[in-house]
Every structure is written in structure tokens, then in C-alpha cells.
A and B are shown apart, each in its own frame.
Chain A
Amino acid sequence: MPVPASEAIASDVGHGALGARSGLRPFRDLLSETVGQRHLWVELRPKKLLTTWIAEGGGVFRKAVAEVFDGVVLDVVGVQTLTETLVRVESQALLTAGHFYYSGATLYVYLTGGVAPSTTSVVVQLGVHVGSHGVYQPVLGVDRLANGPFEAWTDPGGGIPWTPDGWTVSSSVSAGTIGLDKTTSDPLQGNYAARISFTAATGAIGVRQDFTTLVAGQVYRFSGAYRVTSTAGGLMASVYIDDAGTGFVLPDGRTIGTSTRAWSDVAGAGEWRRFAFDFVCPAWGTLRASLFAETVSGTQSGLVDWDDVRLQPVYRYAYHEPLLSIDSVPILEAARADAFWGEMSSALGSLSLLNGGGRLEPLLAAYDWIGADAICRVGGRFQLGGNEILLDDCPVIASGRLGAPTVTDSGVAFDLEDDRKLGERILPTRTYSDSGTPALVQSDFGRSRALLFGTKRAIKPVQYGTHTTGGGAIPLGSYEVVDCTDWAAGIKEFTSVSWYTDEDAATARAASRRTVGPYGSDFDFFVATGRFDVLLDMHPLVITQENNKLHFDTGGAVLSAEISPQTSHMHKVAYDLYTAMRALDGADVTVGYDVSGQLMHISKTAGTLNLRCATGADAQMGVWALLGFSAAADRTGSLNYAADTTIQMEAYDAVLRIDAIGFKDDASGTYTGTASATIEKAPDIARFILRVLLGVPASAIDLPSFVAARAVADRPCSLYVGNPRTVADIFSELETTGNMDLMLKGGVWYCQARDATTPVGTPELVDTDFLSFESHYDPEDLFKTVSLTYNESPDGSNAYGGGLHRRGPNPSPSPVKMGEVEDETIALRYGRFDQKTFATCLRDAADATTPLAGSRLEEIATQASTKRRRFTFSTKGKALQVPVGGKLLLTRSRGLDATGALSAVLVRVLRKRDDWGRWVSDVVAIEVV
């Protein structure tokens, strides 16, 4: 009874058996194959709320968890709380804050700060695995290697080859030259691979990492890719797992021997091949994982490359029940609104499962499925019984959340949404309300708790409370400028506080009607929370020539103290009066404001002091009313005079505007690369939003691409999010600002600078790849007038004054912070008279618009005046892994070109529809110029 070859995926290494497999063609090759099997593997993660925990000590809590379906105790693949997603570890001994361990019967959690799980809500995510084929696949954990993809390298200087970060290099060379360096020559993934070159050499060189916290008895998978380029049998790629001494894990993955490779391959075809080595971790103090390149015999020349290496725990081999049909595979759609940086939209089809026999109803009823994570991976198998793609090489094509299930007798269908749906989320996420942080001013209720990146002037704070300075009786305001709830490092700086006489003055930023602090100890700033307290009432008193005189005598002639016209707070006014009075007579005269009584006092320690409130010359120009003294009668017969009426301290009605510098990086420099630096570059801001505000896990963000983009998109931004905006809108502005694309590929976010280069590994489509093809020009890609806004005022007005550039006639000043370029030839050539405004959050006019040369405005205007070809086509395989914003090369014997043919035309994807069930992509792309 033969089993059809195309059906069989062996009970073999990679599917439960320990040991090594090598020489495996990678998934990337399968994409280009015209024949092959297509496999889909889906991990569904329904949730269950857990309560009643038992303290284990040291911040660890435990609970018995054994959820059974189909005779199997479901794996706990994730644990989430209201505030964090815990990371899985392989043993209880490895538990630290923010981690969990599942033994198969008991769940152990260690929440950040040792918080008791009973004080929050804890849900477990259970692993339910389905697929297009019935196969056991490993449940892989977090990669334990540092720099396994070989993307980070350090230049030791002195012309010495670079070394890969995190790896230790060792070599034994008896002849010739063997060198290790990075290479950009067609890496399997990312930008670099590690390259070991042999030049008439004999010997070996390897890179290794040591581990002291792997768990004895736990199965791990050491996997990756290698490429041997040499004469057949000349060079060898090999892997060792040892104890840094004499013990070695043998090729069977569970026996310990001496000086033995886990596996080796001498095939020298110069093509990428993958390996996977599943082994039981021995009870060693140190486990050393090494990648080696060795000469097999004699003197050899050639290359051995390594890339995409990982060391992951295998929590179990889970049977993927074949409940997926081709039609159940979700269709992935994504599109950018225009050819520039228009908002991204996305749609994801549904995921449906076969439900023969009604087996799934109990599973669906037992757990929370709405919003449950679903991770879809795709793999396959090469034709004629070639190798299948092991799970470590199966890319995630969609990582999203399930909608409500629709259950029928024959199937279950879920709506599926992926992380692109994050674009529909609203920022800021919090408002001032009775729940959480209230506003003390009624009009601030419902206002968003603002977010701030970079330098911004004239932010209106929200008063959320009052306090009494030093125990005084009169309360003053507590204000919030930036919501730092999600970010403990807080903001960089409170630069200044302006206290205006009224809202009109604030809107006009009228310098003549405000006081500016900090001035001494008038404010208490809390950068960690984005808040401040007013310690001294500094509301402005406007002193003019009409109210700047104070008449008094000390027993002699009436004197007239006069202060300069100014707008100052009461303490400054009192000080100026005190100075003026002392200059005239009475060294012991004092003028002061009594905070507790809110009264101005004028006093003298001895002798005589009469205040000529009514009878002083020019009494109509007296300062008395401002100070709260009645001008109806002089004040005599005392040495201490209190004002008749209070000068009310502004506990609630202060008109404040703040200049501040927004979120600062943590002490590790997580987002900027520099400890405590201002987070103000577009890629850094985007990553901060994803990670901190939207909760995207670090594993779903490609850090190297964001770091690389930072070097290009390096202009400082000023982004204040004080009103509700969609994430897509904010991202669009950041992309416009940084000339970059934020791309979601396989559930991982990438940031790619937009340029005309052809990235390594860009797929090229040729005649035989196109299932359909058309090309055209779109007038919507051309604009006569391009406007660019930048550094928008937090209240919508102009903070710095705008730049203005016009190539056309009639230049005029602009009331908004905007630059503009007109190109009349666009109208002449294409009949396009249209204008388009590009919103950026650039901080400085110099970067945005002025001077025009080299400005962002000029860059965008150039694109908007360039005729670019668009291509719409369908293709099998090759384009499936290219996200919107990614690039392709098109070669075709016919096409829109002066030659009538297309030859390696570089295009950027604007719109895609990926059908992974049939491996077909429908693409709209635009020429890169």
C-alpha cells in the first residue's frame, strides 16, 4: 500500500525525531519554483482568564493549568496581563520578572515588579495547531542566540576584518589564509551574511556562542543556513554542540561523545542550504554552539557563508491537524493611498477550518476566541520528493487576531485582521476623565492626554489637580503636558512656562501679556511624568504708565515711587515697588505678598509710614488698585498695611503655555542608540509608537532596519499628538517626514528608507512569471503645486513663522507654517493644475522648506513633477514576500518603454493582494526614479 510521495512528510528529524538535517533547500528557492507543494501552518491562540494563584515565593506565582482538547493537554504558548506580555522560558529556575514557565501541568508566572497576578487580569494563550497537512511540527521558543542573523558587525579598526557581534571567533590555520568577514553578496536574509574565505589554506575557523542557562533535558533546535563555494569536497560547513571541553553532542541529538560534529556538509554548489539540529541539552555547565568552516583535505580555496542562525527551545512537537483547505487560506490585501506616503490600508480575508464531526464546537465554546492571536506560516516541499521546508524556515505570512467565529456543521470561519489594522487605532489612547486622570477645568474633560516627540512650543497643559505649596492654605494647580503613563523615562525637558493674561493673549503668543518662567522656584517639574506643579502664582499683572506709581511718606514729604511699565507677576511687582520705595526713603520698607492671605502688604519696621492712596499726586496713576488697596482714603497710623482686597491666586484659571522637549530615551538608549536622548527622529518615533504605545512585541519589529533608517531619516521632528489621530495618519506623516516606508512583512515591522537603490535579494520577475500584465501612467501621480507643512503648532497656529517658496508668480506670505513649490510645466505638459499638501512633522524650516535646495519640500516636489510608469500584474510565487513599499525588478519582452521592452525596471509596490493558497500575487507597482 504505497503512500503517495507528494503526501508523505516523513516522521523524521524536524518532526519529532532528534538529530540533524542538512542540505535543505530554503524557502526562498521554493518561491521561485514552478512546481512544488504549498503548505500552510497556523497556530491559533485562544485565551482563558485565570484566577486564584498560589504564591511560590520570590515574586513567582503558580497555578495548575491542564486544558485538554482531543486528548492532548494544550500548550500554554503565551501569557498576557493588562500591562505586559510575558516571555516564555524553559524552566522554573529561569524565571525572572516578565517571564512565564509552563511545565505541562503547572503555570508559573513572574510579573514585572513581582506583582501578584490576583491584582491584575491574567490570560493564558493556548496553542491550537492546524495545517494544510497532518504533520508534527515543533513549537519553537525565543531565539537564544545573539546576532544569529549576522546583521551586527564591529570594525576592530586597523584594516582587520570585521567581527560579528555576539560571536567569538576561533581558528586553526596551518597553511594559507583563512578569514572571517561580513558579506553583502546575496545574503539569505537581511543585509549581511558571515563569510569565511579560504585562500590556498589548510585549517578551520569557527564562530561560537556559549550558554550557561540552557535547560538540561530540554530539546533545542539549532538551525540556520550555509553556503559552501568550493571544489567538490574541498571545504566543509560543520556544526558542533559541545561543553567547551571534551563532550560533544553526536549527530543523533541525544548521545554524548568526543570530538564529533553534529553534522557537516561538503557540497560546494555555492547555493544556500539550510540545516536543523534538534538535540537534547545535556546537563552541562556550559553549552557551546559553534559554526565552523574546515578544509576537508589538503590546501583549499573557497568560501563558506552562514546566515539566519537560531537556537530555539522546542517546547513540544505539536500535531498540526489538516483542517485547512485551499479556500480557507486568508487573502492578504494592503495598499497605500497614493504614490507618495498616503495612508496605508489593509484587509485580511477569513480563516476557515473544517469541522467534520462537530469536534470544534467544544473547543470554541471553552475559550475566548474573539481577538485571539493567529499566526499563519507558509512552507512547502520541493518537487519529486525534495525536501520540505522545516518550520524554522517557514515565514509568517500573517500575524493577526481572530474575529468572531461563525460555526456551521461543516466548518468554522473567522474574520482575520493583522497588525496593519493597528493603523486604525487612535492615538492618544487616553483622555482626561473621571476614570483615571480627571481634568479640573470642565472644558478639558474628554481632551486627549497628549503625546510629544521632539521640541514643541506653546503647549496648553491640562490641570488635573491642585496642591498647597509648603502646606499653605491656598491651592495652586498641578498640570500635565505629556502622558507618560506608558513610558517611565518620561520626557526630556520642560523648557519654559508662559503665563498669559487671557486666552486671546495665549493664542496670539503676546509677549507683552505674559510672564515667563521658570523664575527661581516657581514651578516643580516632573519630567518622568510629564507633569508640573505651580509653586508660586505668577499670573501676569500688566503695569503701564497709567498704574505704575505709589505715593507714600515716612513722616516727611510725600514721595512717589515709580516702577517701569511691564507685565510681571505679583512677586516681581512687589519687588520692584520695594526697590523703588527704598531708593526714595526708608531702608526698612518692605513690600510683599502674603500667600496665605492672598494680600499685598506694605510695611516698615520703625518710624512712620503713611500710604497716600487717595491724596498722592497723580493718584489716578497709582498702582493701588492693582495691589488691592482702596484709593478712597490714605492709609496712616501704622507701620504695616494690608491691602483691602485680595489678589486671588489662580488655582484653576491660569492661562498657561509650555515649551517642552518630548519623550526621552531610557538609560539603555533603546530607541535612539543614546542613553536619555530625545526621541525625535522619524524611525525612532515610529518604533516607539509601535512598541510602547501599541504594544507590538520586540520580536515583531526588525530592529536593524529601523536603526539603518535612522541614519538616513535623521532630521529632528516635532510631533505633538494632542487630538485623536489614527496611527495610519501619524505613520503617513512620519513616512513623509523621513522619506521612508513602514512595512509589515510576515508579521514583522520594517522601516526602509525610500531611495532608488536596488536592495540585495530584490526579486526579478521575467516573462514567464506573469499571469497577467498591464502598464500605464496615472495623472494622480503628478501635481503642479506641492505644499509642505511642518512643525504644526499644538493649537494649530504658527509657532515659528512659516517658510515660503514659489517658483511661480505672486509669492505671498503664508499664515501657516508651510512651504510651497509650483511647477507650471506640469500644467502645461499634462493639464494637471492640481495641488497637494504633504504634512510633515519636521521641526526646522531649514530641513523642511528654507532654503529650498536640499529641503524635504524640494525632494517631494521633484517626485511630484516626474512622470512615472505604473504596472499592474499577477504573478506566481516570487512577489509574495514583497510587502507594500518593497521593490521588484521587472523584465518583460513587451512593456511601456522607449525600447518596447522592460529590462530590470525597478518598481515599488503600491498595492498588493496575496493569495497564499494559490501562491498568486496581484500587484500594483510604480517605477522608482
Chain B
Amino acid sequence: MAGIPRLCVTNRIQSPATVLTVSSSATGSPVSRLKDQLRSKTWRSATGWTIVAGQNDKIDFNRGGVLAATIVSGTYATGALLAAAIVAALEAADAAPVWACTYSGTTFKFTVSSDLAFTLLWSSGANTATACHYELGFAVTDTGSATTHTGATAVYTSRHWIKADLVTAAAVLAGIVINHNAGAGGTFTLQGNATDAWSAPTVNQALSGDAAIRIAFISTQTLRYWRLVVNDCGNALGYGEVGVWFAGPYTQPTVSYAIGFTKQWEELSEVTVAIGGAHFQDEKARRPTWSLAWSEVLEADRAALAAAFALVPAGRCFFFSFDAVTTPTDTEYGFLMEGVSETLTSGLYFDVQVPVFAGALG
């Protein structure tokens, strides 16, 4: 593991000035949790489907005429409740009582039906950008004409939006999410725009990764509004969750850290020994720690590293990407346990020592 390292030390999401808003939050886990660096202190959406006006509240359809139904905004804890709201929306836009909607407890799919054949205009409808096709498990394509349409995928929740108003435009080059609860099919998209309008944001970058981290590095954009779109409607847990959302710049020295760096595991478990020699273990986490060094770097790199580390005194968490280009998921969330040192080696060259970079637990 040696490549192009990047230090993400300035999280604009956690800036005191940043204003966070969200499509929904569960009681006891507000979006303000994302201001905290503790990874377990998460934001959670409300359980079920949250319908937001202008975001995911429309159904374009053609049942003898093109119409648009608008689902009443709110959080629907169960599929049955959302199904009832969908029927109400369709009947409000069209005839009643000719519509039906069910949510299967077996397939966890929505089925919309009517007395006449109809088409769901998920792709060609006038309100595609604000349609609820994901929420109902449909692909973004128009359905054929039939009296019954069943979603393609099992769904358990809606999409979620977390919006950060940085108050003033600021540069963002990286988006990272950890301690999330998305499955492999769930996506996180980093969006950025100069205004609080999201039909065609300037930045619309999917984060890639796995169950532990989603990450993307982007070309620099200086924008005021940033948004994280969580599209994980197939998450059987029924809610979205994010522990830390990073959006900000990174520092990339021109050279990599030196080879031969060390990684150690700090054993926090305790062992007690009985009279007869039997031992007991109080199992606790193993904390990974790294000892890194940059050897013989030029003044510009020294200054860049010094400036970056100055922003994260001991105990302040930041992301360190060991190989940002090749394997960006080799990015760790941790903190400095000891201060960084610099040594003038010869001429214009410096050694920069990072004695202990410790993984953030809990």
C-alpha cells in the first residue's frame, strides 16, 4: 500500500457556519449529529417512506389522458400507509374509486392498479425529476399499458437528502461517507450547486465504495450548496443512516509517504488470570495505528503537510487516503495521537514524521 496520499482535514459539513437540513430524521438522531466527529453518532432518517414536495411526490400517468398525481408530503412508516396515500393522490388527480395500490408483505413490492389500462410515465412524464419511481421500486422507464403495474424491486424506504448550506461558496474536492447502513445496491450521490435548486446541479458525483466507506474525489468546485442523496430504497432496515459525511478539499503532497511505514494494532482488551492459570478476556476493540513518514520532501510539500496537520491537532478526526487514485477505499478515519515532527535533512529537503495516526473507533 503506497500510492498517492490525500489528507482530508477540512470537513465543511462540520463547520459551525454550515446549515444542515434533511428530508427526515428519526427522533433522537437529528441531522446535527453529522456535526460531530464521532462515527457512531449518526443521523438516521425516519423509518419508512418520506415524501417531500418537489422531490419525490409526483406520479405521471396516462389513463385516457396524461395526468400527474401528487402524494401528500409526510413520512409513511409502512408500505400500507404509503399505498393508501398513493391511491388518494391518484384519485385526487383522476377518477375515483378506480385506483388501487398494495404493498406486498411477501415481495415487498408496490402494485398500482386501475379499472382501465394505464401507463406510468416515469421516464417521459413532465415531473420525472420529482417522481417517486425509486420509492415505489420502478425503473426510470415508462411502463407499458396495463391495468396493473408492479414495481421491479423490493422497497422498504424512500430516498433521503441531506443538504449543507455552506453560507458562502467553498471549494470541495472530495465526498466521503462512513458508518452508513446502505447495502451494495444503495447509492450515495454528492451534489453541488451554486443555488438551492437541484434539478441540474453542477456537481452530481456518485460515491463508490463498500459497506464501510463511500468516497469520491472530484475536480475542484467552489459552490455554496452541497447535497448528499441517499438512494437505498431496497434497504430492508427501512431507514438511511450516515455517521460522518465529509465534503471538503484535500491536501495532496507531490510525493508519497515513505515505504516501510508501520501499522500496529493497539489491543484494548484486558486479560485477567485466575489462581489456577485460567484466563479471562474482557474483549474490546483493536485500534489500528499507523506510523508514517515523508522523507526528503521539498519545502512546498513540507509546508502543505504542516498546514494540513495544523488543522487537526491530536484527537481531531480526519480522513487519510493512502492511495487516493488507485484504491480510494484505502482511506482511514482517524486522529493524531502525537504531534507531527519535521526534520531538515540536507539542503532543501525535510523529513516529516507522523508518529501515530490512530483509527477512530466508537
Residues on A lying within 8 angstroms of B by beta carbon are 1-4, 6-7, 11-12, 16-19, 34-38, 70-73, 75, 104, 133-136, 217, 250, 252, 254-257, 260, 280, 316-319, 321-322, 356, 381, 383, 767-773, 876-877, 918-920
B357 at the interface (CB under 8 A from A): no
What is the minimal beta-carbon distance from B31 to any residue of chain A, in angstroms?
8
16 A-B residue pairs with Cβ-Cβ distance under 8 Å, sorted by A, are A1-B178, A1-B330, A2-B212, A4-B286, A11-B237, A16-B44, A35-B280, A36-B282, A250-B105, A255-B103, A257-B106, A322-B362, A381-B283, A768-B274, A770-B274, A770-B276
Contact across chains for B274 and A72 when beta carbons are under 8 A apart = no
Contact across chains for A16 and B239 when beta carbons are under 8 A apart = yes
B65 at the interface (CB under 8 A from A): no
- On chain B, the residues within 8 Å of A356 by CB distance are 315
B-side interface size class: 35 or more
Residues on B lying within 8 angstroms of A by beta carbon are 26-30, 32-33, 35, 38-42, 44, 47-48, 77-80, 103, 105-106, 108, 156, 178, 181, 212-213, 236-239, 241, 269-270, 272-276, 278-288, 315, 329-333, 361-362
A12 (CB) vs chain B CBs: closest residue:
B237
Other A-B pairs beyond A252-B236, A319-B41, A918-B282, 13, CB < 8 Å: A4-B287, A7-B361, A11-B241, A16-B29, A16-B47, A17-B47, A70-B32, A71-B33, A252-B108, A254-B48, A322-B38, A768-B278, A876-B280
B30 (CB) vs chain A CBs: closest residue:
A71
- On chain A, the residues within 8 Å of B78 by CB distance are 254-256, 280
Contact across chains for A772 and B106 when beta carbons are under 8 A apart = no
- On chain B, the residues within 8 Å of A256 by CB distance are 78, 80, 105
- On chain B, the residues within 8 Å of A280 by CB distance are 77-78
For B35, B44, B237, B287, the residue with the greatest tally of chain A CB atoms inside 10 Å of its CB is B237
Say whether, besides A11-B42, A133-B40, A252-B105, A1 and B272 are in contact (CB < 8 Å): no
What is the minimal beta-carbon distance from B24 to any residue of chain A, in angstroms?
14
The distance in angstroms between the C-alpha atoms of A773 and B275, with both chains bound, is 8
Contact across chains for A17 and B361 when beta carbons are under 8 A apart = no
Say whether, besides A7-B362, A35-B280, A37-B283, A321 and B41 are in contact (CB < 8 Å): yes
The distance in angstroms between the C-alpha atoms of A877 and B361, with both chains bound, is 26
For B26, B38, B239, B282, the residue with the greatest tally of chain A CB atoms inside 10 Å of its CB is B282
Contact across chains for B274 and A1 when beta carbons are under 8 A apart = no
The distance in angstroms between the C-alpha atoms of A37 and B28, with both chains bound, is 26
A258 (CB) vs chain B CBs: closest residue:
B105
Q: Which of the residues B28, B35, B38 comes within 8 Å of A317, measured between beta carbons?
A: B28
Contact across chains for B272 and A876 when beta carbons are under 8 A apart = yes
Contact across chains for A72 and B278 when beta carbons are under 8 A apart = no
The distance in angstroms between the C-alpha atoms of A318 and B40, with both chains bound, is 12
What is the minimal beta-carbon distance from B184 to any residue of chain A, in angstroms?
16
What is the minimal beta-carbon distance from B317 to any residue of chain A, in angstroms?
12
What is the minimal beta-carbon distance from A252 to any residue of chain B, in angstroms?
7
Q: SS class of chain B's interface: helix, strand, loop or mixed?
A: loop
- On chain B, the residues within 8 Å of A316 by CB distance are 27-28
Q: Which of the residues B29, B38, B105, B239 comes within 8 Å of A257, measured between beta carbons?
A: B105
Contact across chains for A4 and B332 when beta carbons are under 8 A apart = no
B176 (CB) vs chain A CBs: closest residue:
A1
Q: Which of the residues B41, B274, B331 comes within 8 Å of A771, measured between beta carbons?
A: B274
Q: Which of the residues A1, A38, A254, A318 comes within 8 Å of B47, measured between beta carbons?
A: A254
Contact across chains for B26 and A16 when beta carbons are under 8 A apart = yes
What is the minimal beta-carbon distance from A751 to any residue of chain B, in angstroms?
33
The distance in angstroms between the C-alpha atoms of A308 and B115, with both chains bound, is 51
Contact across chains for B361 and A4 when beta carbons are under 8 A apart = yes
- On chain A, the residues within 8 Å of B108 by CB distance are 252, 255
Q: Which of the residues B30, B38, B239, B274 comes within 8 Å of A17, measured between beta carbons?
A: B239
- On chain B, the residues within 8 Å of A252 by CB distance are 105, 108, 156, 236, 238
- On chain A, the residues within 8 Å of B80 by CB distance are 255-256
- On chain A, the residues within 8 Å of B32 by CB distance are 70-71
- On chain B, the residues within 8 Å of A133 by CB distance are 40, 362
- On chain A, the residues within 8 Å of B33 by CB distance are 71, 319
The distance in angstroms between the C-alpha atoms of A153 and B280, with both chains bound, is 41
The distance in angstroms between the C-alpha atoms of A641 and B177, with both chains bound, is 109
Contact across chains for A254 and B283 when beta carbons are under 8 A apart = no
Q: Which of the residues B238, B241, B283 comes within 8 Å of A383, measured between beta carbons?
A: B283
B209 (CB) vs chain A CBs: closest residue:
A1
Q: Which of the residues B48, B105, B274, B279 comes within 8 Å of A769, measured between beta carbons?
A: B274
The distance in angstroms between the C-alpha atoms of A768 and B275, with both chains bound, is 7
Q: Which of the residues B40, B105, B282 comes within 8 Å of A38, measured between beta carbons?
A: B282
Contact across chains for A134 and B362 when beta carbons are under 8 A apart = yes
A135 (CB) vs chain B CBs: closest residue:
B40
What is the minimal beta-carbon distance from B107 to any residue of chain A, in angstroms?
11
Q: Which of the residues B41, B181, B279, B333 comes within 8 Å of A1, measured between beta carbons?
A: B333
B103 (CB) vs chain A CBs: closest residue:
A255
What is the minimal beta-carbon distance from A773 to any residue of chain B, in angstroms?
6
The distance in angstroms between the C-alpha atoms of A539 and B301, with both chains bound, is 107
What is the minimal beta-carbon distance from A509 to any residue of chain B, in angstroms?
63
What is the minimal beta-carbon distance from A241 to any residue of chain B, in angstroms?
13
- On chain B, the residues within 8 Å of A135 by CB distance are 40
- On chain B, the residues within 8 Å of A17 by CB distance are 47, 237-239
B38 (CB) vs chain A CBs: closest residue:
A134
The distance in angstroms between the C-alpha atoms of A918 and B272, with both chains bound, is 9
Contact across chains for B331 and A134 when beta carbons are under 8 A apart = no
Contact across chains for A18 and B41 when beta carbons are under 8 A apart = no
The distance in angstroms between the C-alpha atoms of A260 and B106, with both chains bound, is 10
A33 (CB) vs chain B CBs: closest residue:
B280
- On chain A, the residues within 8 Å of B103 by CB distance are 255
Q: Which of the residues A12, A217, A768 comes within 8 Å of B276, measured between beta carbons?
A: A768
Say whether, besides A1-B213, A11-B241, A918 and B44 are in contact (CB < 8 Å): no
Contact across chains for A34 and B105 when beta carbons are under 8 A apart = no
B288 (CB) vs chain A CBs: closest residue:
A4
The distance in angstroms between the C-alpha atoms of A11 and B238, with both chains bound, is 11
- On chain A, the residues within 8 Å of B333 by CB distance are 1
The distance in angstroms between the C-alpha atoms of A70 and B77, with both chains bound, is 26
What is the minimal beta-carbon distance from B35 to any residue of chain A, in angstroms?
8
B31 (CB) vs chain A CBs: closest residue:
A71
B334 (CB) vs chain A CBs: closest residue:
A1
The distance in angstroms between the C-alpha atoms of A6 and B285, with both chains bound, is 5
Contact across chains for A18 and B238 when beta carbons are under 8 A apart = yes
The distance in angstroms between the C-alpha atoms of A318 and B105, with both chains bound, is 28
The distance in angstroms between the C-alpha atoms of A855 and B331, with both chains bound, is 77
The distance in angstroms between the C-alpha atoms of A381 and B156, with both chains bound, is 29
What is the minimal beta-carbon distance from B246 to any residue of chain A, in angstroms?
13
B236 (CB) vs chain A CBs: closest residue:
A252
Contact across chains for B280 and A34 when beta carbons are under 8 A apart = yes
Contact across chains for B274 and A876 when beta carbons are under 8 A apart = yes
- On chain A, the residues within 8 Å of B40 by CB distance are 133-135, 319, 322
